Amino acid sequence: MTDSHLISQYDEPTNSKKANAVDAQIGNRVRVRRMLVSMSQEKLGELLKVTFQQIQKYERGANRVSASRLFQIAKVLGVPIGYFFDNLTVADDGALVPGFAESSNEEAGMMEFLNTREGIELNRAFQRITDPAKRRAVVELVRSMAGEDAK
């Protein structure tokens, strides 16, 4: 495999500062982890000595995160660097290939919801319900509110 073939696998040449799908994936993982540890963008920015606007840009994938900054983010959020690359696959044409959990539109929509503040809060609260009957009742309540028949 030639060096030019390796470069062509990605959206942009290695010297480009333009963000791409990989940057968006990394930003999303930063946002999800930050929310999981209940940290504000302001607090993360303060700990990294950058503005919360810069954190927003990282999380949206609008700005690339340098290797040294990603190392700092991983340390602050308490995860290994590899966390930001979990399930990240790039196809030969440079396109980001969805992970196994995002194999359909419905599953992709579910993952998108689970990555929101409401999705994380709902998941946390639901996990704290230990009574199986109460868990089932919550599921049935939500289905009823969504206009679905019980299954």
46: CATH: 1.10.260.40
Residue 27 within a domain: yes
Tokens of 131: 């009574």
Q: Which of 37, 67, 39 is nearest to 55 (CA)?
A: 39
Q: How far apart are CA 101 and CA 57, in angstroms?
A: 25
Q: How far apart are CA 68 and CA 102, in angstroms?
A: 29
Number of separate domains in the chain? 1
What range defines the domain where residue 69 resides? Answer: 3-99
Specify whether the CB–CB gap between 79 and 36 falls below 8 A: no
Residue 61 within a domain: yes
pTM: 0.64
pLDDT of residue 55: 96
Q: How far apart are CA 50 and CA 46, in angstroms?
A: 6
Q: What is the residue type of 35? A: M
Residue 15 within a domain: yes
3-state DSSP assignment of residue 97 = strand
Residue 133 pLDDT > 60:
yes
Residue 117 within a domain: no
Q: How far apart are CA 87 and CA 110, in angstroms?
A: 16
Residue 139 within a domain: no
User: If you count DSSP H runs as helices and E runs as strands, how many of each does the chain have, helices first?
Assistant: 8, 2
Residue 7 pLDDT > 80:
no
Confidence of residue 96 (pLDDT cuts 50, 70, 90): low
Which tens digits make up the pLDDT trace of 99-120?
Answer: 544 445 665 667 778 778 888 8
